Structure 1
Amino acid sequence: MRLRFPLHLLFILQLALLAGCDETPTGRSQLALVPENLMAQMGEDTFDQLLNRQPVSRDTQVNELVQCVADKVVAGAEASYPGLAFPERWDVVVFEDSSPNAFALPGGRIGVHTGLLRVAETSAQLAAVIGHEVGHVLADHGNERLTQQLGIKAGLLVVGLLGEGELGHQQLMQALGIGAQIGISLPFSRTHEEEADLMGLAIMARSGFDPQESVALWRNMAATGGGQPPEFLSTHPAHESRIKVLETSMDEALATYENASPADCSTS
């Protein structure tokens, strides 16, 4: 149902479009117009769909490991970016899925596929992935992509001039990085991926995980995934390009790691 609002709200919309330019935690200019409470609601709704459609792991040891790593990563993120607003709590769920994926959604939801645990051979490698995904959320990449994809529709959504049905649920899910088949992660832009890589590197180091394991993780990913299409054909960075980006900030991450309390997520 279309909602009708006074014309003065259109003027507010114009102001929002002009004032919506902000900066990500790394200092990159960003246009993200959707209110944070709405992004959190979309994250919650998407996560609920996943819980309804995807089987959840009942392996106690696996769940304890993932929860431990996620808790330490979130604590490291809060220490790395103290000026950001964080969810009051993060829900962490391990899904039974053979694909080596993980994701984080606005509002504090983290999902890890069991297939990732066959590629991430150490808790530090798992921390690299979770840190990367949390980086996407903290940098508001879903909001930015939603604004870009929907254009003026996103602006109209800000002031409530479009009903939910007109916006398109699938467009919302794609902006959050979830594909048409629930649980399948979609790549963010190369800029977003590189930014999340660098933020994830800083986060895992502050969390007490060896940042060098991030490089080992992506070498494992390369070995598991086989050949990739040429980088210019995909928004997702090739593994070697990703590793090069990580290595440019490795010295700084190692210095942070040396001053952090070592993370221990060993399970009995």
Structure 2
Amino acid sequence: MKYKKYLSILVISVLIVSCAKNPFTGKSTMALVPNSQILPMAFQQYDQFLSENNVVTGTAQANMVKNVGQKISSAAERWLTANGYAGYLKDYRWEYNLVQDETVNAWCMPGGKIVFYTGIMPIAQDEAGVAAIMGHEVAHALANHGQQRMSASQIQQVAAVGLAVGTAGSENAAIYNQAFGVGSNVLGMLPFSRSHESEADKIGLTLMAIAGYDPLIGARLWERMSQQGGDAPQEFLSTHPANQTRIDNIVKWAPDARAVARKFGVTSFKN
């Protein structure tokens, strides 16, 4: 009896999950929060971020980020149109900005709002390296990974509340709730995040290849990234695949990315 409320909430959670098929992955993915809500929030947060940080303009690096970004977004549009999804990105408002910050990072918010930090530029090294990073970050947005993470987080929260209600009064309630917290992260949220990173790697290779860049540059980029030092957690405890896993996957996927690009008339690749 005491678990009925918990089970009912879980059933309701499953029933209310909205699904949307993503053209880049072919998968039906969680979409509890619609893009009509996500994109305006993303645009507002992006503008606020830019207003609070030092945006670099007019330099060779800033121009490179914008130029490569335009090529990657154009590659996405070409792929979508060729595969019957013309207009899929009609609500995107692409922006590509370089921000003065020594953090080694870059990101793309839903709706095509991109930031590169100056700290990642030495690792990118050149235009092809920027394309490898750009392809990966743009792929996160195209695959709706932000939307999926928000949806998964909501389900995790509902399940946690259901468990707390279902075990209320039990002498083992604290143990159950702690076990759920650890288990749902290690067995659920972390693998979910790692799968997103791998998806973004694979989609990103195709985008950079269509844009005219050698996808194998992605492997060289991660080799440089792995040389940055620092202790990384074991892969199963991380939100990201291990660097060597990513390198091995990129080497495996690169020929397919080149093959797709050739269908778009790309016969040579910058490296």
How many angstroms apart in 2 are the aligned matches of 1:89 and 1:46? 13
Name the amino acid aligned to 1:22. A
Structure 1: which 4+ aligned runs deviate by more than 4 Å?
A: 14-19, 261-264
Q: Is the CA contact 1:209–1:257 (under 8 Å) kept in the aligned structure 2?
A: no
Deviation string, structure 1 residues 17-49 (Cα, Å, up to 9, x no partner): 557123332123311121212111121122122
Residue number in structure 2 paired with 1:85:
88
Of 138-147 and 58-67, the range deviating more from structure 2 = 58-67
Q: Is the CA contact 2:209–2:269 (under 8 Å) kept in the aligned structure 1?
A: no
Q: Is the CA contact 1:124–1:210 (under 8 Å) kept in the aligned structure 2?
A: yes
Residue number in structure 1 paired with 2:138:
134
Where 1:237 maps in the other structure, the secondary structure is coil
Distance 1:75 1:16, change over 3 A: farther
Q: Is the CA contact 1:207–1:261 (under 8 Å) kept in the aligned structure 2?
A: no
Where 1:203 maps in the other structure, the secondary structure is helix
Deviation string, structure 1 residues 126-154 (Cα, Å, up to 9, x no partner): 11111111111111111111011123989
1:241-252 paired onto structure 2 within 5 Å: 241-252=245-256
1:136-175 paired onto structure 2 within 5 Å: 136-151=140-155
1:216-235 paired onto structure 2 within 5 Å: 216-235=220-239
How many angstroms apart in 2 are the aligned matches of 1:91 and 1:255? 29
Residue number in structure 2 paired with 1:73:
72
Of 192-201 and 19-28, the range deviating more from structure 2 = 19-28
Residue number in structure 2 paired with 1:48:
47
Q: Is the CA contact 2:107–2:116 (under 8 Å) kept in the aligned structure 1?
A: yes
Aligned pairs, number:
220
Shift of 1:199: 0.5
Q: Is the CA contact 1:101–1:116 (under 8 Å) kept in the aligned structure 2?
A: yes
Higher RCO structure (Cα 8 Å, ≥6 apart)? 1
Residue number in structure 2 paired with 1:21:
19
Distance 1:263 1:95, change over 3 A: farther
Deviation string, structure 1 residues 200-223 (Cα, Å, up to 9, x no partner): 000000111111101111111111
Larger Rg: 2
Q: Is the CA contact 1:73–1:203 (under 8 Å) kept in the aligned structure 2?
A: yes
Where 1:64 maps in the other structure, the secondary structure is helix
Distance 1:251 1:152, change over 3 A: closer
Distance 1:139 1:245, change over 3 A: same
TM-score normalised to structure 2 length: 0.73
Shift of 1:107: 2.1
Shift of 1:261: 6.6
Partner of residue 260 from structure 1, selected from 248, 253, 266: 266
Name the amino acid aligned to 1:193. E
Could you say what the CA RMSD is over the residues aligned between the two structures, in angstroms?
Answer: 2.7
Name the amino acid aligned to 1:77. A
Partner of residue 99 from structure 2, selected from 95, 98, 101: 95
1:195-214 paired onto structure 2 within 5 Å: 195-214=199-218
Shift of 1:70: 0.3
Unpaired stretches in structure 1, ≥5 consecutive residues: 1-13, 155-186
Shift of 1:250: 1.3
Of 54-63 and 240-249, the range deviating more from structure 2 = 54-63
How many angstroms apart in 2 are the aligned matches of 1:94 and 1:114? 7
Percent same amino acid among aligned pairs? Answer: 36
